[in-house]
């Protein structure tokens, strides 16, 4: 599965706070002010929140401080209380809290930045810059100071192919990278670059690093691969401010869990930096405080009670590779484990809850029997991946149960449609399932058919009628039931797991 990392780590990095009640530079919006505000503002960030949401509470003080700091740049921050403005939030398809969106004269785009003050400020300032800034020799130092990682392309003025590529890079990643271009051949030579060339300026590791250009012109794929790797620090401590950069790199992430109080901590991190450098373009190696984030260790299928430990996660598939027992020679042990991972010699760890007995028409699936019940060739299978603590999931539960009862009582539906659910906090979705988990609940339909594994994601209203229509439209068997049908016979249960 491709796993949206925010689900997994939001709880790990959250710190409780409260929305400020005092005078605020954050604009409060409602249904009467929203349209005018978004249409008129050249650049604004809007938070859609619920007062009871712990992650919203954690964001609040950072959001307030960022709003104040961005005022001089005429970048406004606003918020919408979705418990009061349900219709507006529904219209905007807000499915989780907090949701942040960047607005430019009414046009919305997802916010993909950090949720701490400095990260919000940096992200929004980048949004205000032109996609590509023109850089002179005199202005280079000032440009370098705009962020901890900036990229400058050196190209001839007549090199249209390179200019097109750098513009494409800048537009595609304007929320992540500050990009400039210079036509100064002498300036390029001063920074060990040719024309065309690309140089990354950093406030970490080596302050300058150049792309080894393989062709006559710059191209988007080559530049993306370069900046994705070079924009993250070697063997840094992973935290809320830098986490997004590691995710955006697209590389697997290897977590070295260790207590910061361990006597050999600094020495071991120094040794592991050499390992990180060797595998830099294949795996990002970081260290993480095992005492603060022991819960995250367990989420990566580590025991969570013995340190140091290592776990690798493929950020695209979600596959986890835990190493609980490190040798005393930490460098050698970590190097050997990452080497095996890179060469494809490791098998992922799949967490599964115990296989349950069934006492409902909704089949409770766990990872160990996922393929058996979700990839049932004979049936159209509706799968809900839920979290026990999720309010949306709790609200859906009676509707989902009624849905299962209706199909179980239906002559055709009882044999051709299966309504199943899985606790996404206690079970890993097998990587080969190729499921994108974007939020809880995530609802998908696997149509019947031999060897069929492609899923159709449900994005409609979570009403009984809409779910029935979805199954009838996308299922192979096209089975439909009436919401008013009697379900007296629904006590007959699915086969025991």
By annotation, the residues acting in catalysis are 53, 56, 390, 393
Question: CB–CB of 46/97 below 8 Å?
Answer: no
Q: Which distant-in-sequence residues (6+ apart) come within 8 Å of 446 by Cβ?
A: 374, 375, 376, 380, 381, 383, 452, 453, 454, 455, 456
Left if phi > 0, otherwise alpha if psi is -120 to 50, otherwise beta: which for 397? alpha
């Amino acid at each position: 599965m491709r796993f949206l990392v925010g689900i997994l780590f939001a709880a790990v990095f959250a710190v409780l706070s409260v929305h400020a009640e005092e005078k605020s530079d954050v604009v409060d919006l409602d249904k009467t002010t929203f349209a005018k505000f978004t249409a008129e503002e050249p650049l604004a960030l809007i938070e859609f929140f619920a007062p009871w949401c712990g992650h919203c509470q954690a964001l609040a003080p950072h959001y307030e401080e960022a709003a104040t700091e961005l005022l001089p740049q005429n970048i406004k921050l606003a918020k919408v209380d979705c418990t009061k403005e349900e219709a507006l939030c529904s219209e905007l398809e807000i499915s989780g809290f907090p949701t942040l969106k960047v607005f430019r004269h009414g046009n919305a785009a997802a916010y993909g930045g950090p949720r701490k003050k400095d990260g919000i400020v940096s992200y929004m300032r980048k949004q205000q810059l032109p996609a590509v800034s023109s850089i002179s020799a005199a202005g280079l130092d000032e440009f370098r100071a705009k962020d901890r990682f900036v990229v400058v392309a050196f190209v001839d003025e007549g090199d249209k192919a390179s200019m097109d590529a750098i513009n494409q890079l800048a537009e595609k990643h304007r929320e992540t990278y500050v990009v400039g271009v210079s036509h100064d051949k002498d300036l390029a030579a001063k920074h060990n670059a040719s024309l065309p060339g690309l140089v990354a300026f950093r406030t970490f590791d080596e302050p300058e690093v150049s792309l080894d250009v393989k062709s006559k012109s710059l191209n988007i794929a080559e530049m993306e691969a370069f900046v994705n790797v070079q924009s993250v620090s070697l063997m840094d401590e992973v935290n809320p401010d830098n986490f997004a950069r590691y995710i955006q790199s697209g590389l697997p992430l290897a977590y070295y869990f260790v207590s910061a109080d361990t006597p050999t901590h600094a020495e071991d991190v120094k040794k592991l930096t050499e390992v990180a450098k060797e595998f830099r373009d294949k795996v990002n190696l970081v260290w993480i405080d095992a005492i603060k984030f022991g819960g995250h260790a367990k989420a990566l299928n580590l025991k969570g009670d013995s340190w140091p430990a290592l776990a690798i996660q493929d950020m695209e598939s979600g596959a986890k590779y835990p190493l609980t027992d490190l040798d005393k020679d930490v460098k050698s042990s970590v190097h050997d484990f990452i080497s095996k991972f890179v060469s494809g010699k490791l098998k992922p760890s799949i967490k599964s809850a115990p296989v349950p007995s069934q006492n409902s028409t909704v089949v409770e699936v766990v990872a160990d029997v996922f393929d058996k019940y979700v990839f049932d060739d004979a049936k159209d299978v509706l799968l809900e991946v839920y979290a026990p603590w999720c309010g949306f999931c709790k609200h859906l539960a009676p509707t989902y149960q009624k849905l299962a009862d209706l199909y179980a009582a239906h002559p055709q539906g009882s044999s051709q449609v299966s309504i199943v659910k899985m606790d996404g906090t206690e079970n890993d979705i097998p990587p080969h399932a190729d499921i994108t988990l974007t939020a809880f609940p995530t609802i998908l339909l696997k149509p019947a058919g031999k060897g069929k594994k492609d899923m159709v994601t449900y994005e409609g209203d979570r009403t009984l009628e809409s779910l029935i229509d979805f199954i009838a439209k996308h299922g192979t068997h096209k089975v439909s039931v009436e919401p008013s049908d009697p379900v007296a016979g629904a006590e007959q249960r699915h086969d025991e797991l």
